[in-house]
Chains A and B, each alone.
Chain A
Amino acid sequence: MLESLGQKLLMGTRRAAPDLKGESTYMDALFNDIAKLPVSPEEQMLHQCALVGAFETAGYLPEAGRPEKEPAPAEVDNRQLCSPRAARVFETALKKPLLLIVRQWIDRASRQGRRPPFHLLPDLLRLATKIPAFRGETRAYIGPRGRWLAGANAKWRWILDDEAAPRLPDNTQWEEGSLDERSRYLAAIREKDPPKARELIQSVLSGESAKTRAAFIARLDADLSDEDEPFLEVLLDDRSVEVRRTAAILLSRLPASALAGRMFARMENCVSIEKKFLTRTLRIEPPEKMDAAMKRDGIMDSAAGDLGSRAAMFMRITAATPLSWWRNRWGLTPEEILKGARKSNWEAALVLGLAEAASTQHDSVWIKTLLNAELPGKIKLDPDRLIRSLPPDELTSWVIGSLAAERTFPLRYMLTEETDAGELHWSRQLTDAALDAVKAAVCRQASHWQLKNDINAMGSRIHPDRLGSALHGWPEDHLNWPYYAEHTHDFFEVVKLRLALYEELT
């Protein structure tokens, strides 16, 4: 009835007469009464609207459902519900979102055998859907209600993947995926079965483009071992420059490889040490020209930065030589090498080459030596690259050392997204060093936007034992304080939030 009325309303009474058929004799009678009223057709229609409208509004009838379409109820979650205050902390962390605090909450709650209120599960699922690195922890913690929800919502189906028996990713991703997808597939295979990854690349190599080949070879970076050497050695003859370069860089990390051996020989020809009483001087005589063997091993003679072509060539040879050679051949420490090169014309090329080697080979001894060395002004290293190449433990120690020396900028290495995905919080040692350093830095630097950013970012990372003391000891009487007080609300809020977390989930 309402539909036909609506149609007539669309057309208007000038074009369609307002005669309506009721669905029952009762309605028909009422419509007849309306038709008999001494009013215009428009008013008749409005009467019908009022009548039918009231009828439809009051007379709504629910539909019957189909029970066989409904899923079974969720299993019982035997864990105890967390306290209301703990739930509020979890909700705050999920809504912002503060991923690290969510992870800390889950870690604590799972130790206590506590679960969050169920209405927070959708937010948790949404967060974990967005951040794949977080999915494993979520899957382990979410419980039967979460798995039931995943069954009902396709976006969350990843929860139901079986973690216990990890199967290798689906072959179709390798056969038909984009370069990115296939590259990730390779990375996954490499993690579980390194030789298989190599064999896979070998099998498709001839048919792929240069770009693809280079991208695949780069995945051998993970779990690199001497087993990969024969394959990589062959790749030094590949058509593509990019592939040859990548293979050469990888081989330079394998001291037992043939390429390394060739590099050792070249260095042997260029470098000698003069011993005069207690001083050591490096005598460097780089090759004049490049030969085909060098080219094959990825050495180029193009000028680089301030270095001419001969110097650049030497730099690259140095960069490609495993750093163990310096220790094994000469028995000298890195400091002694650097000192010994002081007077050489080729000092710059050597130092830059050593820095490059230290970065690609992740050699923490050399990296630290280079960072701390006093170098002549004309030699410009990239400290950021060196620092980022340190293994995680070394990086932390280095940062702690820097903080003690009153340099707060190293904090940003501990505030990256990678550190978010790893440990749940900083060590006590790092926390103490960081808190002391920033409190001192506030007095030294007025209105420093990077410092206040670092302070705000620290809040979720400091060790739980230091949360209480993090609220105090700030130089509130200092001239610089008002700026920081106004701009570090995030830090104090997060610290208080975490205090509540640890109080509630002990």
Chain B
Amino acid sequence: MNFTPEQVIALAPDGKSVTAAKMLMKPAKWPLLGYDDEAVWGHCQGSGKKAYEVRIDLNGPAFKCSCPSRKFPCKHALALFLLHLEGNGVVPRQTAPLWVSEWIVQRQAVKTEKAQEKKEQAAAPEAIAKKQAKRLKTMLNGIGECERWLCDIVAGGLSEIEGRGYAVWDNAAARLVDAQMPGAAAMVTRMAGIMAAGSADRLARIAVLMGRLYLLLKAVTRFDELSAAQQADVRAAVGWPLEKDAVLSDGQTVQGTWAVVGASIRHNGKMREQRTWLQETVSHAVALILSFSYGNQLPETLLLPGTRIDAELAYYPGSVPLRALIKDQRSEPMPMDATHGRDTIADALGKHAQAVSLNPWIDIYPMVIADVIPLPSDGKLVFRDSDGRHLPVHPRFNALWECVALAGGRGLTIIGEWTDQALLPLACRHDDGYYPFSIEMAV
């Protein structure tokens, strides 16, 4: 895989590492440098006596440095990577010395070992069915308890628990996690947040979420009666993931030129969830690449909004196929030239209604809307389309004036996520080109 300096900088743990790395990019500091098809390596002379040994595995990428820094990747690794990407012969092509080749071989061995293990485990269909049945059983055990809890609340009314704080909800959520239903637990946590925030429409929002949770629990109870697509929807909603290998081998594949139209990040303190939306330039099909990272870990995909790639995608199963994996990337990222498949507000809402009627647990739905004017009023924003209709903009959107400035009172194409009955803009197309907003929210 080829990398760009921007991507390398994006891997850095903080801005200081980047500046420190840039200061290290002087050839004088590197008594040894080299690269081959799989790795880049070097000796970096720091302020100590012995030079640090720095290694980069281009498959990954992965880094190893002998310096005592706790940051990952450290400034030496970043500097080496950036030096290599500069080109102009600073890093010469060579045969890898032993301390590099040994490391690469070792990593390869660990990878193949893990892949072997997985294959052996997955193989037999009886094994699969057995696993499934076991999981269902655990989930069903938790469902009965959760249903009783829900009924208790409904019987006593929300007014009774209004003052009681998070404990009521936390316990229920924890039990759902124990019963291997993290998606359901997330719904409970969301309800807790809505109660605590105390907004005017909290009762309505909780009613909707309760209904949705109840529906999900009932659906799990009748799992075997559901169609394959509905089962996939339930699994996605409840947090019972499919194996990636299974999706890659069995999922419906779509080839084409995919434009990376927008991205958003949601984090809850422990985990970061990145949504990258792709749109196929001819068929206008939309795909969602979901990636997760924890703490300082590297994100799994490196797709920048505003680029496009030729690729074959494999979709996860479901009544409304959205989430996908990149099965085979066939080109380097190129700049995106236009935004296709644009709808009016009415059309976009229509597509959403259609989707929700098939999969009632859809929470975040993509929209690409043409020719809308952002209108500020009292610190809030709405979008108006050419039919004169308004769409509310999500209250957590933090680039209100940037969006208004780009439009200048004229129409923009907006790519966004429809969620919480509002549009969260992720990017827009305006007279000068394409501009992605930086959307990162705590949930």
Chain A residues with CB under 8 Å of chain B are 2-3, 5-7, 9-15, 40-43, 45-54, 56-65, 67, 69-74, 81, 117-119, 121-122, 145, 148-149, 152-153, 482, 485, 489, 492-493
Contacts and interface: CB of A to CB of B under 8 A. Distances in A.
B78 to A, nearest CB: 14
Given A2-B208, A5-B207, A63 B390 contact: yes
B360 interface: yes
B150 A46 contact: yes
A485 B24 CA distance: 11
Contacts of B214: 46-47, 49-50
A48 B408 contact: no
B98 interface: no
Contact of A62 (B154, B208, B389, B410): B389
Contact of B151 (A46, A56, A64): A46
B248 interface: no
B294 interface: no
Q: Which 8 A-B pairs have the closest CB atoms?
A: A12-B157, A49-B211, A6-B203, A73-B409, A50-B211, A53-B208, A74-B408, A53-B211
27 contacts: A3-B204, A5-B204, A5-B207, A12-B156, A13-B157, A14-B156, A42-B150, A42-B154, A46-B151, A46-B214, A53-B207, A53-B211, A54-B215, A54-B357, A60-B421, A73-B408, A74-B408, A118-B432, A119-B399, A119-B403, A122-B401, A122-B402, A145-B405, A148-B409, A149-B401, A153-B401, A489-B16
A295 B412 CA distance: 74
Contacts of B388: 64-65, 67
Given A62-B389, A70-B375, A70-B384, A149 B208 contact: no
Nearest to A77: B408
A49 B191 CA distance: 14
B23 A489 contact: yes
Contacts of B207: 2, 5-6, 9, 49, 52-53
B390 A40 contact: no
A62 B401 contact: no
Contacts of B19: 489, 492-493
Nearest to B402: A119
B404 interface: yes
B47 A482 contact: yes
B206 interface: yes
Contact of B389 (A43, A50, A65): A65
B389 A9 contact: no
Given A6-B206, A57-B356, 6 more contacts: A42-B155, A49-B208, A52-B207, A62-B389, A118-B430, A122-B401
Contact of B155 (A12, A61, A482): A12
Contacts of A492: 19, 22-23
B161 to A, nearest CB: 10
A10 B389 contact: no
Nearest to B375: A70
B435 interface: yes
Interface of B: 16, 19-20, 22-23, 47, 150-152, 154-160, 203-204, 206-212, 214-215, 345-346, 349, 352-353, 356-357, 360, 373, 375-377, 382, 384, 388-391, 399, 401-406, 408-410, 421, 430, 432, 435
Nearest to B430: A118
A74 B409 contact: yes
A148 B435 CA distance: 20
**Most chain A C-beta atoms within 10 Å of own C-beta, residue among B152, B157, B207:** B207
A152 B375 CA distance: 9
Contacts of B408: 73-74, 118, 145, 148
A125 B410 CA distance: 20
B222 to A, nearest CB: 14
Contacts of A2: 204, 207-208
B154 A46 contact: yes
A482 B20 CA distance: 12
A486 to B, nearest CB: 8
Given A12-B156, A14-B156, A49-B210, A58 B353 contact: yes
Contacts of B435: 117, 119
Contacts of A56: 204, 208
A60 B409 CA distance: 26
**Most chain A C-beta atoms within 10 Å of own C-beta, residue among B154, B159, B356, B408:** B154
Contacts of A149: 401, 404-405
Contacts of A47: 211, 214
B357 A71 contact: no
A118 B151 contact: no
Contacts of B353: 58-60
Interface of A is mostly: helix
A118 B158 contact: no
A489 B204 contact: no
**Most chain B C-beta atoms within 10 Å of own C-beta, residue among A118, A152, A493:** A118
Nearest to B159: A10
A53 to B, nearest CB: 4
Contacts of A482: 47
A149 to B, nearest CB: 6
Given A10-B203, A119-B405, A62 B349 contact: yes
A492 B18 CA distance: 13
Contacts of B356: 54, 57-58
Contacts of A67: 388
Contact of B382 (A65, A72, A122): A65
Contacts of A40: 151
A15 B215 CA distance: 24
Contacts of B349: 60-62
**Most chain B C-beta atoms within 10 Å of own C-beta, residue among A10, A11, A47:** A10
A58 B352 contact: yes
A9 B206 contact: yes
**Most chain B C-beta atoms within 10 Å of own C-beta, residue among A40, A122, A482:** A122
B206 A65 contact: no
Nearest to B382: A65
Contacts of B16: 489
**Most chain B C-beta atoms within 10 Å of own C-beta, residue among A49, A60, A72, A81:** A49
Given A74-B409, A81-B432, A122-B405, A63 B389 contact: yes
**Most chain A C-beta atoms within 10 Å of own C-beta, residue among B19, B20, B157:** B157
Given A3-B204, A13-B155, A118-B408, A62 B390 contact: yes
Given A3-B204, A62-B391, A11 B159 contact: yes
Nearest to B408: A74
Nearest to B354: A58
Contacts of B209: 53
**Most chain B C-beta atoms within 10 Å of own C-beta, residue among A42, A48, A493:** A42
A153 B389 CA distance: 23
B7 to A, nearest CB: 16
Contact of A54 (B155, B211, B377): B211
A47 B151 CA distance: 11
A455 B406 CA distance: 38
A492 B399 CA distance: 31
Given A52-B211, A57-B356, A62-B390, A152 B376 contact: yes
A118 B210 contact: no
B410 to A, nearest CB: 5
Nearest to A122: B401
Contacts of A51: 211
B336 to A, nearest CB: 14
A121 B430 CA distance: 15
